Chains A and B, each alone.
Chain A
């Protein structure tokens, strides 16, 4: 055989579109977001929709470039995650492969359509969800796998960037086979890795196939079943093999049953099992945790005498493989990010087979539930199983001392604040000045989600609460209806306004709330890296010109009692208008409009991206 010449992997040239081109067999160093995009492109994805949210917002940027190469591909920033989900579900119903990446909080927004959409049995439909162990860059550490389980749809957790690419592609095939949406779960630690990835073939023929929306299929939740069968219950029955299949051929009956999904998952090679003859311990390492588990095992030098199950399908789990591990070892450590989700399933398997193996992990306190699971944490738990130390005691103390130093002596270093020149900071300052003068302490400010969340911290201290996107207006209304005598202010950003602020504002007007809505219109989705939205510059995700919706016109149509646009850089104008607005009974709206300072610099070309 001729010796193969070493071809070093290279980075993709930025914005070159290489991520979407035909390079079968070529190796590129790509990021996780690019790998998700590449997997979808190789699968022949036709429709992609998403609302921005870390850590997966960059996937759309790569796919937007792809769509400029393959014009039949539609890529959009949607107004919120549920809209994005419904758009992609529609495309899947029309016979095209469809993809929607979202952050973990997005799952909360799509949950209604997610649960019911699974019942419809769509095919070729993949979601990517970014979970955030340790809440490193979001407001909440939540484990979306429970929501997947609630919706009864499978979850894949790739263990490397190569697998992110490969399993995103294969998730589409899996979804077609089992007729369910499939979720690819990415955790923050994986989401920002880069590594060499071998590209595969792009299925252009799938992307270019004809639309095939089956009008005879009855894409509804109820079916015309005769009494006493319940029309709406039938779809759920398929998830539990309880549907009398034969009678319902052509409807839900023809959709694959749960037992089939389990069988398919059981047969997948992805869940690799390494089983030495006499293992001293067993480990089940899920998704991203596989990496650091292997690092810990290597560090301990026990590679050849530990049973290792690399688990990619965290729901449902491949029970036979888990049984094999349980049979061979006296104790098994389950390593996963956030909640003991797989661990609980492993416990159930063990109970059913009367296994006496000890199952260790988060339920036993060997690994903490909160914060990222890292090599040292895994190593400590493994060391305990094997009856030895992982790191020398002194080293552990030294590391603790370092962290103590940061927490105790350097706590004055603040988290990010408003960027220099931020228009939202200027707007907040004007409002605070006016309110201090007019009402003193008798003001209640309620925030929402965006850069202006930083109003909650000193020195502005001009926001007392923020919760989920679009909730500020309604929380403020609730405080008013509860009888507060304070002047009530609600903030909202422009992207948040389109995401979920509009129904809340309609409600406030209709139900006669008395508040000032302060719209921080910086013409972009600032906090997540400046994505466009329906009210920003009239431009789509793929840089096509489109209509631009004006928040002022919209709120006028909602019949608010006062509306005016101001430039927050103009302190005089802003304070004068605010004073007027605050006198109005009912719902008044002041729109502080000026482009985000970072975006403005970027537009002017003063800064590299």
Chain B
């Protein structure tokens, strides 16, 4: 980490709840007196488009945008998204926390037939290939998480994937914030009525102790 800075990137597909994680992290870091800035990337209206956000923390910050090749941590909600974002922003030796569930969209499908919109698709690359590409860029600290499965198991739907991934990332001990602070924000600042479920999902990610 360059002089006490932390560059954290969260990446996924639109609709996966990335901005929510960004908000919770920024609020928690700010509450503990950290100097923190953030930016999302132009969100697309359409479902399942690549989207990501930058969070930067440090004593002296001018820009919230992580320079290319400078992200310390990348939380990726989908494998190919993880590769795409790591290839541009990942620091050599960056820690990547990656969900293993592949979403059949953007012209990709597991069997190479049709994607979620019913349009002809290319075959989704296998995980080994993705990890190989990343290692080729010096990014070999990749922690794979079955986030979508855990979310289903713990909460009955995939909508808490974002909280599972947040928990998993937090368990790496690289995010300098108290767990109570983060959990309080999860309870108070997620949509009304979802606090407990989100907390449960967060804790199930936490248990992975990466």
The residues of A with any CB-CB pair to B shorter than 8 Å are: 6, 8-11, 29, 54-55, 136-137, 188-189, 191-196, 290-292, 294-295, 298-299, 374-376, 391, 395, 398-399, 401-403, 405-406, 409-410, 412-420, 422, 425, 451, 458-459, 526-530, 598, 607-608
Contact = CB atoms under 8 A, between A and B. Distances in A.
Given A291-B62, A294-B63, A410-B84, A8 B30 contact: yes
Given A298-B60, A598-B47, A410 B83 contact: yes
Interface stretch (B117-125, B140-148, B200-208): B117-125
Contact of B67 (A375, A414, A459, A529): A375
Contacts of A459: 119-120
A418 B13 CA distance: 14
Contact of B138 (A137, A189, A398): A398
B80 A413 contact: yes
A55 B40 CA distance: 12
Nearest to A421: B117
B80 A419 contact: no
Contacts of A419: 46-48, 117
Interface residues of B, number: 55
A192 B47 CA distance: 19
B67 A376 contact: yes
Interface of B: 2, 15, 23, 26-27, 30-33, 37-49, 60, 62-65, 67-69, 80, 83-84, 86-88, 90, 92, 105-108, 115-120, 122, 133, 136-138, 189, 191
Contacts of B38: 193-195
B107 A54 contact: no
B24 to A, nearest CB: 9
A193 B106 contact: no
Contacts of A410: 80, 83-84
B45 A529 contact: yes
Contacts of A375: 63, 65, 67
B46 A298 contact: no
A54 B67 contact: no
Among A9, A398, A409, A526, residue most surrounded by chain B Cβ atoms (within 10 Å): A398
Contact of A374 (B37, B47, B68): B68
Nearest to B83: A410
Given A195-B38, A459-B119, A415 B106 contact: yes
B45 A295 contact: no
A417 B107 contact: yes
Given A11-B189, A29-B27, A420 B136 contact: no
A402 B117 contact: no
Contacts of B122: 412-413
Contacts of A526: 45
A608 B138 CA distance: 38
Contacts of B116: 420
Contacts of B40: 192, 194
Contacts of A295: 62-63, 67
Contacts of B90: 402
Contacts of B60: 298
A194 B39 contact: yes
